[in-house]
Amino acid sequence: MKVSYHGHSVVQVEANGKKIIIDPFISGNELTDLDADKLEVDVILLTHGHNDHVGDTVELAKRNDALVVAPFELATYLGWKGVNVHPMHIGGAHTFDFGTVKLTQAFHGSAYTDEEKQEIIYTGMPAGILLSAEGKTIYHAGDTALFSDLKLIGERNMIDLAFIPIGDNFTMGPEDASVAAEWLQAKQVVPIHFNTFPVIEQDPHEFADNLSGKKGKVLEVGESMDV
C-alpha cells in the first residue's frame, strides 16, 4: 500500500490497483500540490461534511465516475447531486474491491455550508476511517477531539499508520494528539489538519519529534511512503 499526503487532511492511497483519496479539499487549499481538474481517482472516502473535507468531491466523482464512501446523511446529500455513493455509519464495516472500510467515532461537527444561500446543511455524524488493504491498516482520524475510545480502537486494530489532526482550535492540539498517538498504538503517526489557516498553525516536526518510540513522521506536501 502506498500513501501520500497533500495538505490539510488530504491523503491519497494506492491499493489493489485502485486510486483512493480521503477528504479531497483541493480547490481553495493553498497548501495542496494537487490539481482537481487533472486528478484521477477511483474511490473517495469522506470523514464528514465540512467544506474543507468534502472539497472537490462532487466534481472529482462525476469526472472520474468514482465511488464516494461516506456517513449515511452525507452520502445521501451527495447522491442527490448525481454522485455514485456507498453510505455507511459509525461502527459499520464493508469490504470493497480495494479493501475494507470501517467507520469509527469522531468528536466534531458535520455540516455542509452554502455561503451564497447562508445555509448550513446537516450531514450526520463525523467519523474516522479504518482502511485495511494488502495486509495493512491505516487510520485517518478525521477531525476529532481526544476521546477515550481511541484506546479501544488501538487495542482492537493493528494500525500500521495513523493520520492524526494536530491543529488545535477545531480539533485536537499537539498535546492531546500525542496522547491519541499513544492510545492508538500505531506503528507510525503522521500529523494532519495544520497550517491551512492561521488559527491552526502548528509545528508538525516538533509534534513528531515528541512522540515516543520514534514513530512520528512528517510527510511534506506531495511526499509518499510505503506502508
pLDDT single digits (tens) 172-219: 999 999 999 999 999 999 999 999 999 999 999 999 999 988 899 999
Q: At what angle do helices 72-79 and 57-64 cross, to 10 degrees?
A: 60
Is residue 25 within 8 Å of residue 6, measured between CB atoms?
Answer: no
Cα gap 31→112, rounded to integer Å: 21
Q: What is the pLDDT of residue 201?
A: 98
For the segment 83-120, what is each residue's pLDDT rounded down to a tens digit? 999 999 999 999 999 999 999 999 999 999 999 999 99
Q: What is the pLDDT of residue 213?
A: 86
Cα gap 216→204, rounded to integer Å: 9
Sign of the Cα pseudo-torsion (25, 82, 113, 164, in order) = negative
CA atoms within 13 A on the CB side of 112: 21
Taking CA atoms, 110 is separated from 37, 44, 50, in Å, by 26, 17, 6
Length of the chain: 227
Query: With a threshold of 0.95, does the pTM exceed it?
Result: yes
Q: Helix or strand or coil: residue 182?
A: helix
For the segment 21-61, what is each residue's pLDDT rounded down to a tens digit? 999 999 999 999 999 999 999 999 999 999 999 999 999 99
Q: What is the pLDDT of residue 74?
A: 98
Among the CATH numbers 3.60.15.10, 2.40.50.100, 3.30.70.100, 2.70.70.10, which is that of 2-214?
A: 3.60.15.10
